[in-house]
């Protein structure tokens, strides 16, 4: 019986050694995962395949994972975010809150249908997927902080409008590697669209700021 147990333990140890020796390291695993994703888009249009490629900041965030960014890495991501910031041609950072109300609830845009990007005039922001905004909206997400009363609490000054605009355009200028989508930097929303979302958040007439 003891010999049998000894043989079993030896076999298990040998299996573990072989398994550990053949299992790829973290770097190889990451490259393999990226290859698999890229190949999944192999027969689609180049514009779709490009969406699988990571830019430098995203590559850094993916490599770090749950670990903390170094000061140098964080500074590099913030600099890239700030250097890539663009603003509406009109110079107005706060647009029409009524258009913003439509954008924050619209989930359409850049969906792939039958191998092609959905043909729409513009994308939606779908902010309510992660944030509570209009206090009366019951179908709101809680992944991000509640934004109800955003303008009531912060005001609607030019400084607040700029901060809000930049936070939406590229949140990584403030919190590198955060889960907030880089809506403007990625080209998903136009500067004008972002200005409308800003208005929805800070305009005193917006439902967001009608707190009872």
DSSP string, the chain: -HHHHHHHHHHHHHHHHHHHHHS--HHHHHHHHHHHHHHHTTTS-HHHHGGG---HHHHHHHHHTTSPPPHHHHHHHHHHHHHT----TT--S---HHHHHHHHH---SS-EETTEE---SS----GGGT---STT-SS---SS---TTHHHHH---HHHHHHHHHHHH-GGGTSTT-SS--TTTTTSS-HHHHHHHHHHHH-TTSGGG---
Q: What is the pLDDT along the chain (212 residues), one digit of tens a residue?
A: 444 444 444 444 544 444 454 557 777 887 787 778 777 766 556 666 676 788 999 999 988 877 899 999 999 999 999 999 999 999 999 999 999 999 999 987 767 777 777 666 678 899 999 999 999 998 889 999 999 999 999 999 999 999 999 999 999 999 999 999 999 998 889 999 999 999 999 999 999 999 76
Residue 192 covered by a domain: yes
Residue 136 covered by a domain: yes
Residue 20 covered by a domain: no
Residue 23 covered by a domain: no
What CATH number does residue 187 fall under?
Answer: 1.10.760.10
Residue 6 covered by a domain: no
Residue 22 covered by a domain: no
Residue 38 covered by a domain: no
- Predicted TM-score (pTM) of the model is 0.79
Residue 185 covered by a domain: yes
Which range marks the domain in which residue 126 is found? 67-209
Q: How many domains does the chain have?
A: 1
């Amino acid at each position: 019986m003891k010999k049998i147990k000894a043989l079993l333990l030896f076999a298990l140890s040998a299996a573990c050694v072989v398994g550990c020796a053949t299992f790829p390291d973290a770097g190889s695993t990451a490259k393999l995962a990226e290859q698999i994703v890229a190949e999944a888009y192999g027969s689609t249009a180049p514009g779709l395949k490009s969406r699988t490629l990571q830019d430098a900041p995203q590559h850094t965030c993916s490599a770090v994972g749950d670990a903390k960014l170094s000061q140098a890495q964080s500074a590099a991501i913030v600099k890239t975010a700030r250097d890539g910031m663009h603003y509406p041609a009109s110079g107005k950072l706060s647009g029409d809150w009524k258009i913003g109300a439509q954008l924050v609830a619209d989930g359409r845009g850049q969906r792939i249908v039958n191998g092609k990007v959905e043909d729409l005039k513009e994308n939606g922001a779908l902010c309510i997927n992660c944030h509570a905004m209009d206090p009366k909206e019951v179908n709101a997400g809680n992944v991000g902080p509640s934004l109800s009363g955003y303008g009531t609490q912060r005001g609607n000054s030019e400084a607040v409008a700029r901060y809000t605009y930049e936070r939406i355009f590229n949140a990584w200028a403030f919190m590198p590697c955060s889960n907030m989508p880089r809506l403007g930097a990625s080209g998903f929303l136009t500067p004008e669209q972002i200005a409308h979302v800003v208005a929805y958040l800070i305009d005193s007439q917006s439902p967001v700021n009608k707190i009872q």
